[in-house]
Amino acid sequence: MKNLIATANPQPVRFNESEYRLDDLIGRHGKDIHLASVLAYERLAAMPFEEKVHPKLLSNRERECLTWLCAGLRVVAIAEKLSISNSAVNLYINNAKNKLGAKTREQAVARALISSEITL
C-alpha cells in the first residue's frame, strides 16, 4: 500500500477552462483518479465502527436523505424531492449522523454505505 501512495502525484492538479470536460479529465488523469478512489475505499473500509451500529438502524426517511446526499443533492433539492422542509432534511441527516456515530455528513454517508443502510 505504501508503494501505491509513493507513486501518486503529490502536486495538486490545476485545471483551465478547456479541461473541465469529463472525457478529457479521465483521459489525462484516469490513473490518478482510480488510485485516489482505491485509496479512499481502503480508508473507508478501515474505519472503526462503534458497537452501536447495527443493520437497519436508520429510519426510512433518514436513509432517503442520506441516499440523496450521497447522490450529490443539496439540502434544498432533497427537501423538494421529498416534499419536506429544509430543516426536516437537516434533522434527518443529523439524526442519522448521531445513530451512525459520525462527525460529518460525509462520514455518515460512508458509514451508511459500508453498513448497507443505503446503497448506490
Asked if 37 and 99 count as a contact pair (C-beta separation under 8 A), the reply is no
Domain span at residue 80?
A: 60-114
Same domain, yes or no, for 70 and 106? yes
pLDDT category of residue 80 using cuts at 50, 70 and 90: very high
d(CA 30, CA 24): 9
CA angle 110, 114, 119 (to 5 degrees): 85
pTM reported for the whole predicted model: 0.56
Task: Please give the DSSP secondary-structure letter assigned to residue 17.
Answer: G
Asked if 117 and 102 count as a contact pair (C-beta separation under 8 A), the reply is no
Answer whether residue 68 is part of any domain.
yes
Dihedral of alpha carbons 105, 86, 55, 115, sign: negative
Distances in Å between the Cα of 57 and the Cα atoms of 36, 65, 102, 118 are 30, 14, 13, 11
Same domain, yes or no, for 65 and 106? yes
Please report the pLDDT score of residue 18 as a whole number. 55
Please report the pLDDT score of residue 96 as a whole number. 95
Q: Which amino acid is present at 36? A: A
pLDDT, tens digit, 9 for 90 and up, residues 47-70: 776 655 455 789 999 999 999 999
Answer whether residue 54 is part of any domain.
no
Answer whether residue 52 is part of any domain.
no
